[in-house]
Every structure is written in structure tokens, then in C-alpha cells.
Chain A
């Protein structure tokens, strides 16, 4: 009898067969981010593959790195670029913050000026899309009473963005802006 047709082989297959499991969402997002970054490196145009736009977490994170140059350029941006002033809510006592948005073709830039956040603590900024995605725009460290100015970039288009939030390292919302 061929080993391929040995009943024991079939029994072994049933005994070892793993339960079907889905990859963790963050791993999927990580892979998608690599693919998008690879496309960007190759200079290929984006592929509009899904009617419903998806902005996985790490895909956006990977895009952030490739947008570093864009971020640097914004620092020396001519003053003619339209800037949108936005209001912040839930700002904790002792914290002063102002925020502006810039709509880019590649996403939304959040410009923050903040003082009073815990010195040395990491904060993460997320932009929420109208499809319910919660996409990171970048991280920064609090500088205590000293004002900090930072620019954060998200791959959510301004027209799709409905809010952005600043979260502390525990994941608690420190401040939020609901966007029109």
C-alpha cells in the first residue's frame, strides 16, 4: 500500500489538523503596510482594489515613514497653504492646546501646539475616518510646561476624517477634536 493512501496518514491528518484561525488584525495591517510601502518604493500608482476604502493600522503607520519627507517639507511650507483651525475638547486642566489641520492629497496633517502634558510620556494621535477606522497619525513625548509643536500625518483624507484624538500611553483619550 502506498504511504499516501495509508489510513494512518489520514488519521494523523485529522489528529493534527489545526483549528482554522484568522491572522490577528494588527498582523494583517502590518502586511498591508509592507505591501503599500513596497509599492511606494517601486513608484507604482495605488491600486483601487476595494470599493470600500480601508486604512489598516500598520498600513497607515508604514505610510507615515514614507511621508517623513513630506512632513519635513511642511516645516518650510510657504504660508499660502490653507490651514484649518479646529477646536479641541476634553482638554485636561493645566493643559493648553491648539490644533490645525492641513488637507493633503495623501491624507491629513495635524499640527499640534501643546503644553502641560506629562513630561516624557508618550502620546499617540489617531485620526478617525467616516468609515469607522481609527488610524494612527504619529506619536510624541510630552514636554511638561514647555510648549511643544509637532506635525502628525495620517493616511485618512481630510474629506473622510471625522475626528482626531490624542491618547496617552494607557490608551485614555487626553483630548479630542470633532471635525465637520
Chain B
């Protein structure tokens, strides 16, 4: 990932419609935004579309972007979240739905073997959390956003984000304990 100082320089160049700066910003956020979109949209191509649309909207709005908020990442995640919600509404009436880890077509058998058993258990437990819990934790650990930034994305106050994050972690821990507990005969 590009460090904060470099991101600030890139943003200033991006305001001048510097294509190289935009490409650098795109590359810098692509993996995380794609993962976020991929977990909420059924197909990889849709997730790619969502990230592209996010960048297109960012281009339209970059003149209004301000560092007074929670930073560029939170801003991009906020745009991406809206794009995903709009795409999901077009396909379903239920809004964005997290895609279960098992439904990821990119995960072949070899990947499953290579990934650690503990991580697999965590992912499975994570997949059983509510969409809200998943989102707040994912923004935190994959998006690497602080409470203030997550709050900006979700429209919550930082204190409420911390509370929700703590509760989501508790629920995740409970699910892991349930999975670890030996089954009764």
C-alpha cells in the first residue's frame, strides 16, 4: 500500500486529472475494494464493475473531496458501498447480500487446502455473522479503516462504531466456540 503522504500527493495530482495518479490510486485501493465488493456481489465481474464505477464516481467528485473527513480510503469505501447497494437493488429486492465464502468461485480445492484450518474456521464463522456485523469488521480489518473512517462510510458516530465492532467480535467469538465445542452424542 502507498503511504499517506504519497496518497496525498496522488490526490492532488488526481484533482488535475493526471491519468498516472488515477491509475496509482486505483491500483492502491483495488485489492481491498474488490474484496469488499466481491463479498457482496455474486459474480467477480460485478465486483470489478463496482470498483470501476467507484473510480468513475470518484473522478466526478474528486474536486469536492476534503481531507477534513476520514481520508481517501473511507471516501472510496463510501462510494463503493453505495454503488454495491444500487447494483444489488437492481438484482434483488433484499439489498446487498454478503456472499458466503463457499460461494466464491475463485476458491478452488487447492486454495482450501493451502489455507490454514484456523483461518478457515474464522472465515466460516464470519460468514455466519449478520451482514451488518460482517461489514463493520471487514471495513476495520480488510479496509484497515479506523472507527472514525468506518463511521463515515456507514453513517455512524465513532463511538457507535466501536460499540458495534465490539459486539460483532463477541458474536464471532461465540460462533467460533460453538464450532470448536465437541458434538454431544
Contacts and interface: CB of A to CB of B under 8 A. Distances in A.
A149 interface: no
Interface in A12-32: 12-24, 27-28, 30-32
B17 A31 contact: no
Interface residues of A, number: 36
Interface in A38-88: 38-39, 42, 44, 47, 49-50, 59
Contact of B141 (A16, A22, A31, A36): A16
A140 interface: no
Interface residues of B, number: 42
Interface stretch (A3-11, A118-126, A150-158, A167-175): A3-11
Contacts of B77: none
Q: Which applies to chain A's interface (DSSP): helix, strand, loop or mixed?
A: helix
A35 interface: yes
A67 B146 CA distance: 45
Given A15-B122, A16-B141, A22-B30, A49 B20 contact: yes
Contacts of B86: none
Contacts of A12: 122, 126, 137, 141, 169, 172
Contacts of A19: 31
B169 A32 contact: no
B89 interface: no
A28 B59 CA distance: 13
A13 B141 contact: yes
Contact of A16 (B20, B26, B142): B142
Nearest to B144: A13
B31 A20 contact: yes
Contacts of B56: 31, 34
